[in-house]
């Protein structure tokens, strides 16, 4: 059981999303929620508070009568439940709900405690609201996506439950769940905020970390395949640059290759009198960049992922709606904490580095497939009859095509603000769009790496290095042998591609 008590970590999200750990609001946070609610109820008497007794956005100039205040919240939720496109996958919706619940539990939103209690039930019972990918512009936060969450909390809309898409009231009846109570500003507090982009973003980080480790594995295994010199991974060389990510990637690769009998020591081959007598070296003195510069290429990926994780965890532990209820200072502050620029920028940075990772994978793949470059493998790592069979030739097209899509998708959303809402929202973040596109880029990168891994496995079978391989490469080879057949005869590879991609997404290599 995970206690919700102000500060969630990335590890907490991993437990809830991937290990199905249940959550429980701490008594301290429930008290904060109740105190905030009671304070706002009292404070809002005889005052004009945005979204409590006014309209919303450009309609804030209109005062709402006391008798209409509850209907105002219902109207907001229903009118903004206008998303379109693909439904968000349940994993990402669960992350969104956990992010929203944590924000509301800080006691700065003035919501009735039933909001937190029902959200806790939905998370623990894996009831995920139907929320669409398209709709939010990222300031007033993720209004449309979060409206669909609010719609379910009031007992309307649809949910995914036990693998089926149901009317919310049907799922609530099965689990004996009562809708939330609308009292003061529950609709606005649920909808004003960055929890959709942040929830999606946190899942993106978890997958991006896993993806990076698989890229390190591929890079290490290829260094074994070509029997590369090992000094480009040395601590001494990489310490000459002060970037933590570069040093970390080099360290990971050294650890992977520490017991390999294939990587070579430059001292034994080139730093001696015999080598000095040569006038031409058939074997390359230095490897191609896609092999030699991996720490320099993946280092920025590592650093970006870690910094993005820091920013998103800061966001998820922040009050990001409007206005902010300050019980301690007995005041209500109006501002723009719902604006998603922090998250939008990080998502754009993340998709940029993941695109570069997929480009590295595509170049490494090309190196393996082009026998004129590697000079050790048959064309297209073809284990069948040359000319008659095709090896990995067809799969390369898929990897190239997908990499090209990533290159186009990596253009930023952060600077694509379009004024809307009668120009009240005159500059917006497009954070949810940025997070969703990053999700696609990460998924695409797994597809590219799946083709690279299949090719690496074929190359290792051809070369028969066996006991010379590092223990880590041998262990993964053993696992992949259960999934990936030896490709001599041609057959449709789409099922193997999908199975390997699924394995990479759901398994840690380090």
How do residues 219-278 score in pLDDT, each as one tens digit? 999 999 999 888 899 999 999 999 999 999 999 999 999 999 998 887 665 566 565 555
pLDDT at 270: 57
CATH topology of domain 2-192: Fumarase C; Chain B, domain 1 (1.10.275)
pTM (predicted TM-score):
0.95
* pLDDT tens sequence across 134-178: 998 988 889 999 999 999 999 999 999 999 999 999 999 999 999
Provide CB contacts within 8 A for 211, sequence distance 6+: 354, 357, 442, 445, 446, 449, 504
The domain at 203-323+335-506 falls in which architecture? Up-down Bundle (1.20)
Per-residue pLDDT for 394 more than 80?
A: yes
Q: In which element (H, E) is residue 331 found?
A: strand 331-333
pLDDT at 288: 86
What CA–CA distance (Å, rounded) separates 195 from 177?
23
Look at strands 128-129 and 331-333 and give their pairing. unpaired
Count the neighbouring beta carbons within 10 Å of the beta carbon of residue 15.
Answer: 14
What's the mean pLDDT when you consider all of the chain? 93
pLDDT at 139: 86
What CA–CA distance (Å, rounded) separates 212 from 305?
9
Sequence-ordered strand ranges (E) for 69-174: 84-87, 128-129, 132-134, 158-161, 164-167
What CA–CA distance (Å, rounded) separates 405 from 403?
5
Q: In which element (H, E) is residue 54 found?
A: none
pLDDT at 250: 97
Per-residue pLDDT for 214 more than 70?
A: yes
What is the three-state SS of 352-376? HHHHHHHHHHHHHHHHHHCHHHHCC
Per-residue pLDDT for 217 more than 60?
A: yes
Domain ranges for the chain = 2-192, 203-323+335-506
Provide CB contacts within 8 A for 55, sequence distance 6+: 61, 62, 64, 72
Q: According to the per-residue pLDDT averaged within each range, which of 56-65, 283-292, 355-364 is highest?
A: 355-364
- Structure-block tokens of residue 296: 């320099």
| Residue 202 CA, distance from chain mean position | 5
Residue 71: which pLDDT band, with cuts at 50, 70 and 90?
Answer: very high
As a whole-number percent, the residues of the chain with pLDDT over 70 amount to 96
pLDDT at 152: 98
Among 51-65, 212-226, 301-315, which is the least confidently predicted range? Answer: 51-65
pLDDT at 276: 57
pLDDT at 285: 59
Residues annotated as catalytic (active site), given as ranges: 50
pLDDT at 275: 58
Per-residue pLDDT for 281 more than 80?
A: no
Residue 365: which pLDDT band, with cuts at 50, 70 and 90?
Answer: very high
What CA–CA distance (Å, rounded) separates 229 from 287?
8
* pLDDT tens sequence across 323-339: 999 999 999 999 999 99
What CA–CA distance (Å, rounded) separates 313 from 244?
21
As a whole-number percent, the residues of the chain with pLDDT over 90 amount to 84
Among 270-274, 317-321, 360-364, which is the least confidently predicted range? Answer: 270-274
Residue 431: which pLDDT band, with cuts at 50, 70 and 90?
Answer: very high
Residue in 438, 414, 293 with CA at minimum distance from that of residue 355: 438
């Amino acid at each position: 059981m995970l206690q919700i008590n102000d500060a969630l970590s990335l590890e907490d999200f991993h437990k809830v999303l991937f290990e199905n750990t249940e959550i429980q609001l701490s008594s301290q946070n429930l008290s904060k929620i109740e105190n905030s609610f009671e304070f706002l109820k009292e404070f809002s008497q005889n005052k004009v508070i945005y979204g409590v007794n006014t309209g919303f956005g450009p309609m804030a100039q209109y005062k709402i009568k006391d008798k209409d205040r509850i209907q105002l919240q219902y109207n907001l939720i229903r009118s903004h439940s206008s998303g379109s496109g693909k439904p968000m996958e349940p994993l990402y919706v669960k992350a969104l709900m956990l992010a929203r619940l944590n924000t509301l539990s800080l006691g700065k939103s003035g919501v009735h405690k039933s909001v937190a209690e029902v959200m806790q039930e939905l998370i623990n019972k894996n009831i995920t609201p139907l929320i669409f990918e398209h709709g939010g512009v990222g300031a007033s936060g993720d209004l449309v996506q979060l409206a669909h969450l609010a719609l379910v909390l009031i007992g309307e809309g649809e949910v995914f439950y036990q693998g089926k898409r149901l009317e919310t009231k049907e799922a609530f009846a099965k689990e004996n769940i009562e809708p939330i109570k609308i009292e003061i500003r529950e609709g606005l507090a649920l909808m004003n905020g960055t929890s959709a982009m942040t929830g999606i973003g946190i899942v993106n980080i978890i997958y991006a970390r896993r993806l990076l480790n698989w890229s390190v594995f591929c890079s290490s295994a290829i260094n074994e395949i070509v029997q590369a010199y090992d000094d480009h991974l040395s601590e001494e060389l990489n310490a000459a640059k002060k970037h933590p990510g570069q040093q970390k990637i080099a360290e990971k690769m050294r650890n992977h290759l520490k017991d390999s009998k294939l990587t070579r020591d430059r001292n034994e081959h080139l730093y001696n009198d015999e080598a000095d007598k040569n006038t031409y070296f058939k074997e390359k003195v230095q490897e191609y960049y896609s092999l030699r510069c991996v720490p320099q290429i993946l280092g920025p990926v590592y650093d970006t992922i870690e910094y993005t994780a820091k920013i998103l965890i800061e966001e998820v532990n922040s009050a990001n709606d409007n206005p902010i209820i300050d019980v301690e200072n007995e005041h209500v502050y109006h501002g723009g904490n719902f604006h998603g620029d922090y998250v939008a920028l990080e998502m754009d940075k993340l998709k940029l580095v993941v695109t570069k990772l997929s480009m590295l994978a595509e170049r490494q793949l090309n190196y393996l497939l082009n026998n004129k470059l590697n000079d050790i493998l048959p064309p297209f790592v073809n284990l069948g009859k040359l000319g008659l069979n095709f090896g990995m030739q067809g799969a390369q097209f898929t990897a190239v095509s997908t990499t090209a899509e990533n290159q186009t998708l990596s253009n930023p959303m952060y600077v694509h603000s379009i004024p809307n809402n009668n120009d009240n929202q005159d500059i917006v973040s497009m954070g949810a769009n940025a997070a969703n596109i990053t999700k696609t880029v990460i998924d695409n990168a797994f597809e590219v790496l799946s083709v690279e891994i299949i090719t690496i496995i074929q190359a290792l079978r051809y070369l028969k290095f066996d006991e010379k391989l590092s223990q880590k490469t041998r262990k993964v080879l053993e696992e992949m042998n259960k999934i990936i057949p030896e490709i001599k005869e041609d057959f449709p590879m789409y099922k193997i591609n999908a199975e390997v991609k699924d394995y990479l997404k759901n398994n840690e290599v380090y």
